[in-house]
Amino acid sequence: MNYDAIIVGSGHNGLACAVHLAKQGWKVGVFERNKVAGGAVQTREVTLTVFRHDLFAINLGLFAGSPFMRTHGEALTRHGLAFAGAIDCFATPFPDGTWFGVSKDVEKNIARAASFSAADAETWREMSNKFGRDAPHIFALLGSPMPSRDLLSIGWKAWRAQGLPWVIDTLRLLVSSPRAFLDENFESDKIKATLAAWGLHLDFSPDIAGGALFPYLEAMADQSFGMALGQGGADVMIKALSGYLKELGGEIHLDAEVDRIDRTNGRATGVTLKDGRQFQARRAVIANALPQIVFGKMLPGGSGNAEADRRMKSVRPGPGTMMIHVACDNLPGWTAGPELQRFAYVHLAPSLDMMSRTYNEALAGFLPGEPVVVVGQPTAIDPNRAPQGKHILWIQVRVLPAVIRGDAAGKIEGKDWAEVKEAYADRLMAILESYAPGFAKKILGRAVFSPLDLERENPNLLGGDNLGGSHHLRQNFLFRPTWPGAGVGAGSGFMLARMLT
Ligand SMILES: Cc1cc2nc3c(=O)[nH]c(=O)nc-3n(C[C@H](O)[C@H](O)[C@H](O)COP(=O)(O)OP(=O)(O)OC[C@H]3O[C@@H](n4cnc5c(N)ncnc54)[C@H](O)[C@@H]3O)c2cc1C
């Protein structure tokens, strides 16, 4: 079979790329090793029947606000794409029974900040106003290919619109650590901790340079637009992408693992599958896979450029993550207040120092004594994911080692994830219990995915890395082969398709 383009992998980036190429008239074939499309966007009944869990990504805010959605949103909606919007986005409870949180309501957030510090409430208002001016330029930067001439024009436009001090301040934000940015702007440790938790969604503990941007953007963007979950499950997005691709004449081959990219006179001309079948591509072979996999495995004998091979194979993965999916009778009864049951995410990460410690322990190969726990409460937003009156939790652990050298708490003996994952999940659930006593009795079922289980599900999740490679400055922006990197914004797939057409 001949295609114009072959795409290896049906992650949302592969599908977004395929859709845009097919819309421009290309004949596209997508080849996926798994039995279902979607990569790190999957919804499955992994605890009990009728409890639908987003196994990996759950927050589709990046997709909902993406340039890809602006271009193809109408057709995707026709193919069933729908979002469930969260008004109450994220919150952090503290051991003393207080909490801070961000909702899609600036005055509410300011009032919450004022309960900790009048000065912080004022800062929050100023930051909210400033975000309106920052956002178009920052999102233009994040949505441009790297490197490209567009960058110069974005920089020039920002300079002319906002002036040189703004450009310098923004560059300073881009290289700041979360702690430096938060210390400069806020006096309440609780507000700082609530925002800093977003750094840990990537691999930025409070003292890593380059980590300030995400906490700032997520807080301000959630306040402006809310968060978006997929209606009924994140896979609604994959089904819509797949359905639209098929309407455009594209083909998706499932259970079709690509073994290697075939070349003729140095040009990629097709793929050979693990089962020996071969397919040709007239114009492009596109890999929705990590650089380490493409350059380390799919191009036997190398790409022909030894330096490029070396660089691509040395891309550093981010730290690992772990998922615990819970089916339950009710949401946790948060000691800090019943309002917390309305939030999409509750972060159990009460201080910057605790976040630094857990990050350093994980990087040194230890199971953190007190990990950062992200408790997602999807049924608070979209009750249809569970039988009436019942709930699910989406619990993510940040951050963990792929290879275990020991336990920072000195309690778990094993070093094999298969052996220790349930014991480690118990540690997590004990932390949750300390913030919401009695929750353990409400649990109906749980499924635990260790970092290595994640990699088994999808080789792009190398060692449980959910970022497709560390986002630290040395491999971000101009230095990132898979820009703009982690998240479901369809950024790299859409950028590439536009560059090709
Ligand atoms: C636990 C977890 C939680 C997350 N939460 C969020 C969130 O809430 N919001 C958010 O924005 N982002 C989140 N992310 C990140 C986000 O899911 C990913 O960055 C994004 O989905 C990556 O998409 P992709 O298309 O680039 O790659 P992937 O989704 O990784 O897709 C790659 C595909 O390629 C396939 N493949 C690999 N090798 C081969 C081969 N040889 N042959 C054929 N197929 C192959 C894989 O099976 C996979 O289907 C999360 C990630 C994880 C793991």
Ligand 1 atom closest to Cα of residue 454: 53
Per the structure, how many domains does the chain have?
1
Interval between CA 103 and ligand 1 midpoint (Å)? 28
Interval between CA 432 and ligand 1 midpoint (Å)? 27
The average confidence (pLDDT) of the chain is: 97
Q: At residue 1, does pLDDT exceed 80?
A: no
- Torsional sign, CA 43, 421, 487, 270: negative
Confirm whether 197 is domain-assigned. Answer: no
152/248: higher pLDDT: 248
pLDDT at 323: 98
pLDDT at 377: 98
3-state secondary structure (DSSP) of residue 469:
coil
Ligand 1 atom closest to Cα of residue 39: 49
**Enclosing H/E stretch for 269:** strand 267-273
Confirm whether 259 is domain-assigned. Answer: yes
What backbone phi and psi angles, to 5 degrees, belong to 359?
A: -65, -45
CATH number of the domain bearing residue 265: 3.50.50.60
Confirm whether 374 is domain-assigned. Answer: no
Interval between CA 387 and ligand 1 midpoint (Å)? 28
What backbone phi and psi angles, to 5 degrees, belong to 28?
A: -120, 135
Interval between CA 88 and ligand 1 midpoint (Å)? 26
Interval between CA 130 and ligand 1 midpoint (Å)? 33
- Residue having the nearest C-alpha atom to atom 11 of ligand 1: 487
Confirm whether 308 is domain-assigned. Answer: yes
Interval between CA 470 and ligand 1 midpoint (Å)? 14
Contact 71, 214 (CB under 8 A): no
For residue 147, what are its two tokens?
A: 């490197």
pLDDT at 424: 98
For residue 284, what are its two tokens?
A: 């492009």
Q: Which residue among 262, 458, 470 is best mutated to probe the pocket of ligand 1, counting the most ligand atoms within 8 A of its Cβ?
A: 458
Q: Within a 10 A sphere around the Cβ of 476, how many other Cβ atoms?
A: 19
Confirm whether 448 is domain-assigned. Answer: no
Q: Which residue among 466, 483, 492 is best mutated to probe the pocket of ligand 1, counting the most ligand atoms within 8 A of its Cβ?
A: 466
pLDDT digits (tens, 9 = 90+) for 473-486: 999 999 999 999 99
pLDDT digits (tens, 9 = 90+) for 25-59: 999 999 999 999 999 999 999 999 999 999 999 99
Question: Domain range spanning residue 12?
Answer: 2-41+234-315+472-500
Confirm whether 62 is domain-assigned. Answer: no
Ligand 1 atom closest to Cα of residue 12: 25
pLDDT digits (tens, 9 = 90+) for 319-369: 999 999 999 999 999 999 999 999 999 999 999 999 999 999 999 999 999
Q: Which residue among 7, 17, 19, 32 is best mutated to probe the pocket of ligand 1, counting the most ligand atoms within 8 A of its Cβ?
A: 32
For the chain, give the number of residues. Answer: 501
> pTM for the whole thing?
0.98
Confirm whether 453 is domain-assigned. Answer: no
Confirm whether 263 is domain-assigned. Answer: yes
